[in-house]
Chain A
Amino acid sequence: MATAFQKVYTQISQITKATCSLKAKGVGYDELAVINGKLAQVVKIMGEDVTLQVFEGTGGIPTNAEVVFLGKAPSLKVSEQLAGRFFNAYGNPIDGGPEIEGREVEIGGPSVNPVRRKQPSELIATGIAGIDLNNTLVSGQKIPFFADPDQPFNEVMALVALRAKADKIILGGMGMTNDDYYFFRNTFSNAGALDRIIAFMNTTEDPAVERLLVPDMALAAAEYFAVEKKEKVLVLLTDMTSYADSLSIVSNRMDQIPSKDSMPGSLYSDLAKIYEKAVQFPESVGGGSITIIAVTTLSGGDITHAVPDNTGYITEGQLFLRRDSDIGKVIVDPFRSLSRLKQLVAGKKTRKDHAQVMNAAIRLYADAANAKTKLENGFDLTDYDTRCLDFARDYADKLLAIDVNLNTEEMLDETWKLLSRYFRLEEVNIKKEFTDIYWQQQSNS
């Protein structure tokens, strides 16, 4: 592997589960090295002592291993050839195709100057009312699914990706099961979208620390297409909790003091560096965009755990999936889901009554939840309570369920229909200018 001018070191002074240390000179921070064919990265320099993090783990590395420094940080070759290809965490093809030719860019590059960004304003239509109506997505947004491992988040994500009309879909798989990897491959292939897909895969069979490279690889490719090709790029990252777990493994082996939930104290910054790559560029820079949809798996629905908690503070909202026992379907939970950018499009790119109708329906859905508690506690229900419960069932079935596929206009009309069916005008608290137009007189049954 070493070329004529590269010095080969052969004396390793220390080996831990994830790191090797040796004496070396002229080494740059973050630089890559190869130890007996295994890729490693410089994580600490103290005088002549250099500590390397070995991505695959240090098993089988002898104390006299050959170490060669590559003089560059982890990088990816970018060009149009990336489209339609599947790679591992290092950016090497795993689909049997040829190596990529192109310009080599370092991954994890600098951030966009905030004044060169544009305020996102383009709606991403998914057809799922739980998203489009209540938590509208906007291009340039970053938003995760918060879901328990048994929920169909990958299915919903694939659906969203295919309906989103993106020029490129970049999939970053971290600790993904082989089955899920094939699910994505087959879904995209069946939809005839394979030429728009680029995937960087770290499956459960691969070493855990390797997956730390996946988001940066995916986003380096995304930046190439968004900046140089001026395209609308959608990046799917699943599962970011596995990514964070790898961070904690590394920080633990580096003897760092853990903060909450054994996560490194820098977790917020580490996650922000990834998510903040989501951007909408102004026309002056080509008008491309990077939208990130991620998955953060929860343990027992606990969102106070450090990973979902820090994620929530970084991303522009979150989407919750929940099984609704009343209708026996998975719905997008209207209480805990949120899209922070929805007001940039709701009522502006959609019909004017959007925001008010959405809020009214959710408020009444909340009243239904209260009524349900009353029912469970054995109290008598009022007429209003019963109407709320009836409304909630219809609302979940016709709008919140993930198998719904409507355009926004139809969603709004459907909501008005349900509101008018179950409630009186003064119960919905909507501005008169809208109720004058959309309120449908019906007899309350």
Chain B
Amino acid sequence: MTKGTVSGVVSNMVTLRVDGPVLQGEICYIETAGDRLMAEVIKVIGQDVYVQVFESTRGLKVGSSAEFTGHMLEIQLGPGMLSKNYDGLQNDLDKMEGVFLKRGQYTEPLDAERLWDFKPLAKVGDKVRESDWLGQVEENHQPLKIMVPFQLKGEATVKIIVPEGQYKIHDVVAVLEDERGNEISVDMVQHWPVKFAMTNYAEKPRPFKLLETGVRTIDTFNPIVEGGTGFIPGPFGTGKTVLQHAISKQAEADIVIIAACGERANEVVEIFTEFPELVDPHTGRKLMERTIIIANTSNMPVAAREASVYTAMTMAEYYRSMGLRVLLMADSTSRWAQALREMSNRMEELPGPDAFPMDLGALISNFYGRAGYVKLRNGKVGSVTFLGTVSPAGGNLKEPVTENTKKVARCFYGLEQDRADKKRYPAVNPIDSYSKYLEYPEFAEYMKEHINENWIPKVLKLKTRMQRGKEIAEQINILGDDGVPVEYHVTFWKSEVIDFVILQQDAFDEVDAVTPLERQEELLDLVTTICESEGRKFETFEQVVDYYKKLINICKQMNYSEYKSEQYYDYKKQVEAYL
């Protein structure tokens, strides 16, 4: 393997003089004071190789030796990843020693000694290609497929496949013979370079199936679909993380991967603490069983932060190729972009807008492009749904990360300071936010068949009402309460009903936190009825305000009541009687 010697250090960018060939993106280890520091090649000029070190370079000296590994940054994929807490480089955080993260400490991501119940799916003589399913093991009550190595070229024949039984991850479970007659031993572990997208599927059609999140402002107003993409920009304090956590708790997905990318450690601790206790509303098992956490918090090394989102995406693609529905959340993609900026700056590259690297847009769109709904070659389907948060500098959406993300993500959930200030949570702006999927005929068809024929038309009508309500609010602001006809107040207050009853949701209330689709359907019908009913004859606008405030209060109490409980029906009847 190629070796190198340190010739320069500026923060976490190190220059090495090398004695042989290196790959762009290759991983090497630099020796210093007994520690081995992992680093990645980012630029090569002749014999000088620039690497970004994933650790603190304190004390590193010129002349220290480095050893190259011959491969890019890659992760191990196999059974045992679920419920784990990893850092951005897939080190198992629970296996790390001590209270503080020690420099140069790398731990095994998978447990080599654990036994798994293996069931063969292929048989001897089968012709297989890369990623085809050879067998499966149960991982936290979900089938995990053992697949033909992703690197296999062409077709291979199954020579040996072990019978049902207990095996460890590095036990050979199958032997294949490739087209040239080479024998390939297959164990349960795959390796994949994180920066490359997995394309082991037959096709990637437009997504169309609703992904239920239990958050009304999303499901009812701007739905996201299995394999869809969305982003949540918002100034600090508007509830990005609360919204993301709510979605990750409730969404109807088989696997949830949370990449805490350059964010607060206490937010990750919240997940560590709560998820093992909370129950998945769809399967009744513990949430942690379906979750993987990639924690690269803001105080952990910057270069590993950049890697963390790729690590998370690669894991998501791995589970997708088993025909599972994966939900990937990254909080926040802006921190990832900032990590790119710090490095670009140290490399003295010419900066793009706001000092971000020029290829920021391309990197963001390639990353979002890795999500999607796919048909596998065996006819099964799988999906990676990706939701990223964006933390725009100064809350201004005209900044490079937001603008570039807007070009690629299909759903936009804009969080608004004004709504947050008024405690109208979730602070998703109902008028600027959108879901492109509402315009997909495939999606409309799906909703018609599976949910309700009138769902989308009703939603669109409510959206128009929100728009109208906003316009009237502005008019009232200028002309005064008495300056507009009483009917205007009625229209405005109807939009307030939509806001208070459907859009606002209390993420910290046990009942209101999650609304199953069926309940959302009932609520949509009820609010539509309210909006379309004549109401009473009002003489003054004060009567309008009074009337609708009382109505909103009853609806709120209904939202706080257990679904289908006596109390729930009681409040529902009160609403109907009130009309």
State the A residues within 8 Å of B (CB).
Answer: 25-31, 43-48, 73, 106, 109-120, 140-141, 227, 256-260, 265-266, 268-269, 272-273, 276-277, 279, 281, 285, 303-306, 309-310, 312-314, 316-318, 335-336, 338, 340-341, 343, 355, 359, 362-363, 366, 373-374, 377, 379-380, 382-384, 426-427, 429, 431-432
Would you call B237 and A318 a contact (CB within 8 A)? yes
In the complex, B345 has a CB within 8 A of chain A: yes
Chain A residues contacting B264 (CB-CB under 8 Å) are: 276, 314, 316
B residues contacting A by CB (< 8 A) are 7-10, 15, 56-63, 85, 93-94, 96, 98-103, 235-237, 262, 264-266, 268-270, 272-273, 295, 297-300, 302, 332, 335, 338, 341-342, 345, 351, 354-355, 391, 393-396, 421-423, 477, 480-482, 508, 542, 545, 549-550, 552-553, 556-557, 560
CA distance A427 to B265 in the complex (A): 39
Q: Is the CB of A29 within 8 A of B266?
A: no
Given A265-B342, A272-B262, A355-B556 contact (CB < 8 Å): no
Name 12 interchain pairs, CB-CB below 8 A, sorted by A.
Answer: A45-B10, A47-B7, A110-B101, A113-B101, A114-B265, A117-B269, A259-B341, A266-B302, A269-B342, A276-B298, A277-B299, A431-B557
Could you list 10 further interchain pairs (A-B, Cβ under 8 angstroms) beyond the known A115-B94, A256-B345, A429-B553? A29-B59, A30-B57, A113-B100, A116-B99, A140-B266, A259-B354, A260-B355, A340-B237, A380-B480, A426-B553
Tell me whether A317 and B101 are in contact (CB under 8 A): no
User: Are B266 and A363 in contact, CB atoms less than 8 angstroms apart?
Assistant: no
The listed residue (A281, A366, A427) touching B421 by CB distance below 8 A is A366
Q: Contacts of A227 on B, CB cut-off 8 Å?
A: 99
List A contacts of B62 (CB < 8 A). 25-27, 45, 47-48
Bound CA–CA A341/B355 (angstroms): 33
Question: How far is B7's CA from A114's CA once the two chains are assembled, in angstroms?
Answer: 34
Q: Is B9 in contact with A258, judged by CB distance below 8 angstroms?
A: no
From A25, A268, A343, residue with most partner B Cβ within 10 Å: A268
Inter-chain contact count A-B, CB under 8 Å? 199
A117 contacts B8, C-beta separation under 8 Å: no
Chain B CB within 10 Å — which of A28, A227, A281 has the most?
Answer: A28
A380 to chain B, nearest CB (A): 7
Q: Which residues of A contact B102 (CB under 8 A)?
A: 110
| Distance from A277 Cβ to chain B, minimum over Cβ atoms (Å) | 8
Residue with the highest number of chain A CB atoms closer than 10 Å, among B93, B102, B272, B299: B299
Q: Hey, which chain B residues are within 8 Å of A118, CB to CB? A: 269, 273
Question: Hey, which chain A residues are within 8 Å of B237, CB to CB?
Answer: 312, 317-318, 338, 340
Q: Is the CB of B542 within 8 A of A383?
A: yes
The B interface is mostly helix, strand or loop, or mixed, namely: mixed
Measured between C-beta atoms, what is the minimum distance from B567 to chain A in Å? 9
The answer to whether A257 touches B58 (Cβ under 8 A) is: no
Q: What's the nearest-Cβ distance from chain B to residue A319, in Å?
A: 12
Is A112 in contact with B342, judged by CB distance below 8 angstroms? no
Partner of B59, one of A30, A140, A426: A30
Measured CB to CB, the nearest residue on chain B to A360 is: B423
Complex contacts, B262 vs chain A, CB 8 Å:
268-269, 272
- The residue in chain A whose Cβ has the minimal distance to the Cβ of B557 is A432
Partner of B549, one of A269, A304, A427, A431: A427
Selected contact of A114 from candidates B297, B355, B552, CB within 8 Å:
B297
Q: A28-B61, A309-B394 are in contact. Are A114 and B423 (CB under 8 A)?
A: no
Q: Which residue of chain B is the closest to A119 with respect to CB atoms?
A: B273
| Chain B positions within 8 Å of A44 at CB level | 8-10
**Given A268-B262, A305-B394 in contact, is the A257-B302 Cβ separation under 8 Å?**
no
**A28 and B508 alpha carbons, distance in the complex (Å):** 50
* Distance from A229 Cβ to chain B, minimum over Cβ atoms (Å): 14
- In the docked arrangement, what's the CA distance between A244 and B355, Å? 18
Known: A28-B61, A46-B7, A276-B298. A112 touches B99 (CB 8 A): yes
Q: How far is the CB of A377 from chain B (nearest CB, A)?
A: 8
- Tell me, rounded to whole Å, the shortest Cβ–Cβ distance linking B544 to chain A: 11
A45 adjacent to B9 (CB under 8 Å):
yes
Q: Is the Cβ of B265 less than 8 Å from the Cβ of A276?
A: yes
Q: Are B10 and A335 in contact (CB under 8 A)?
A: no
**Which B residue's beta carbon lies closest to that of A286?**
B99
Docked complex Cα distance between A276 and B264 (Å): 7
- Which residue on B lies nearest to A346, using beta carbons? B508
Tell me the complex Cα distance, A314–B60, Å: 29
Contacting residues, chain A, for B298 (C-beta < 8 A):
268-269, 272-273, 276, 314
A114 in contact with B345 given A119-B266, A313-B391, A379-B481 (CB within 8 Å): no
A363 to B57, CA, bound (A): 50
Write out the residue numbers on chain B whose beta carbons fall within 8 Å of the beta carbon of A45: 8-10, 61-62
